[in-house]
Structure 1
């Protein structure tokens, strides 16, 4: 496998159109009906925790993180994590995850949730949530509803319905 000259950098406003095209290629039109999308709908992602990957000038990956709450407890929603299908299996998603999670830890956040493939995200410390600990605004496979404590005890503090936004 050839090593790519990969650059990971914070997302900028100029990246928005390229990221939207990347999401369209990777997830198709069905992405709008997914529970995770509905949770993020109308919520601005956090630029200091959202990153892109580039090969040369080509944007080939993106991870976004949005604020949310479970009751009175703030948390983060990670996603989408997107890599251009032509650049899959080259470590780009892992590099984006590490950048985002490192930034969230450094910023003092306590808990990150996502809906995704448990075996993939386990390598970053994500675990399946205990039943009925948190609920999302739509159906979700319980085996794909994952959380990562960035601060010990953060999951124990949170409970109830997750809503997007920081209020």
Structure 2
């Protein structure tokens, strides 16, 4: 098999359909019932923090980031992070995570939340949210509710319900 170069770039509006198909293949129809999906429902991902991974012209990975409030603290919810099953274990997820978190830091964001596998996300600075610090709009395994502070002191001042920031109509 020929090695094709991996390209990480910001997600473009034209990528939306291919990214949705990628999510469908990776997560199936059950993805709509998840608590993390509730935070993103009706909220477009932030274009400057959402990235795609391409091999040639094929989209093989995606990470999306949406705005939320964590109590009174503006924050981000990362997800989904998706890699096409045929391209797993090649560092694509890590490249997408690093691109997104680097962009969030450079843009001055203070906190990123996600629901995911703690051992995987720990290498990017995520740790379980302390019990009772935040509440989500649905059930979640507390071991999978993770936070990555991007600024000092944010975990000391942020607490309360995590709610979506829906665009004004």
TM-score, normalisation: structure 2? 0.96
Give secondary structure in 1 for the equivalent of 2:124. coil
User: CA-atom RMSD, angstroms?
Assistant: 1.4
Give secondary structure in 2 for the equivalent of 1:45. coil
- Partner residue in 2 for 1:38: 38
- Partner residue in 2 for 1:52: 52
1:24-35 equivalences in 2 (<5 Å): 24-35=24-35
Q: Tell me, in whole angstroms, the C-alpha distance in 2 between the residues paired with 1:31 and 1:2.
A: 33
Q: Tell me, in whole angstroms, the C-alpha distance in 1 between the residues paired with 2:4 and 2:161.
A: 41
Q: Tell me, in whole angstroms, the C-alpha distance in 2 between the residues paired with 1:109 and 1:3.
A: 36
Give secondary structure in 2 for the equivalent of 1:95. helix
Moved over 6 A (4+): none
**Corresponding pairs, count:** 167
Q: Tell me, in whole angstroms, the C-alpha distance in 2 between the residues paired with 1:4 and 1:137.
A: 41
- Aligned 8 A contact 1:69 1:166 in 2: no
Which runs of 5 or more structure 2 residues have no equivalent in the other structure? none
1:110-149 equivalences in 2 (<5 Å): 110-149=110-149
Task: Spell out, residue by residue over 1:54-79, the C-alpha distance to the aligned partner (whole angstroms, 9 max, x if none).
Answer: 00000000000000002221000000
Which runs of 5 or more structure 1 residues have no equivalent in the other structure? none
Task: Spell out, residue by residue over 1:50-105, the C-alpha distance to the aligned partner (whole angstroms, 9 max, x if none).
Answer: 00000000000000000000222100000000000000000000000000000000
Q: Tell me, in whole angstroms, the C-alpha distance in 2 between the residues paired with 1:89 and 1:56.
A: 18
